[in-house]
Homo-oligomer: A and B are copies of this chain.
Amino acid sequence: MLDRLSLNQYTTREWSLRDAVDGCARAGITSIGLWRDKIDDAGLDTAVALVRDAGLHVSSVCRGGFFATADPEERAGRRADNRRAVDETAALRADTLVLVCGGQAGLPLTTARDMVSDGIADLAGYAATRGVRLAIEPMHPMYCADRSVIVTLGQALDVAEAFPPEQVGVMIDTFHIWWDPQVKAQIARASGRIAGFQVCDWLVPLPDVLLGRGLMGDGPIDFPDLLRAVDAAGYDGPIEVEIFNRALWDTPGDEVVAAVKERFATHVLGRSRPSV
Q: Tell me, yes or no, whether A118 is within 8 Å of chain B by CB.
A: no
| A276 lies within 8 A of B111 (CB) | yes
| B142 lies within 8 A of A206 (CB) | yes
Residue of B nearest to A206 (CB): B209
Known contacts A141-B141, A276-B108; decide if A146 and B179 are in contact (CB<8 Å). no
Q: Tell me, yes or no, whether A258 is within 8 Å of chain B by CB.
A: no
Residue of B nearest to A205 (CB): B146
Residue of B nearest to A148 (CB): B179
Q: Tell me, yes or no, whether A109 is within 8 Å of chain B by CB.
A: yes
Q: List 20 A-B contacts (CB under 8 A).
A: A104-B220, A108-B222, A108-B272, A108-B273, A108-B276, A109-B222, A141-B142, A141-B179, A141-B180, A142-B209, A144-B178, A145-B202, A145-B204, A146-B204, A146-B205, A151-B179, A151-B180, A151-B181, A158-B181, A206-B209
Chain A residues near B (Cβ < 8 Å): 70, 104, 106-109, 111, 113, 140-142, 144-146, 151-152, 154-155, 158, 178-181, 202, 204-206, 209, 219-220, 222, 272-273, 275-276
Q: Which 9 A-B pairs have the closest CB atoms?
A: A144-B179, A141-B179, A145-B204, A142-B142, A155-B181, A145-B220, A206-B209, A141-B141, A104-B220
Q: A108-B222, A108-B273, A145-B204 provided; 17 other pairs, C-beta below 8 A?
A: A108-B272, A109-B178, A109-B179, A111-B275, A140-B142, A141-B141, A141-B142, A144-B178, A145-B202, A145-B206, A145-B220, A146-B205, A151-B179, A151-B180, A152-B180, A206-B209, A209-B209
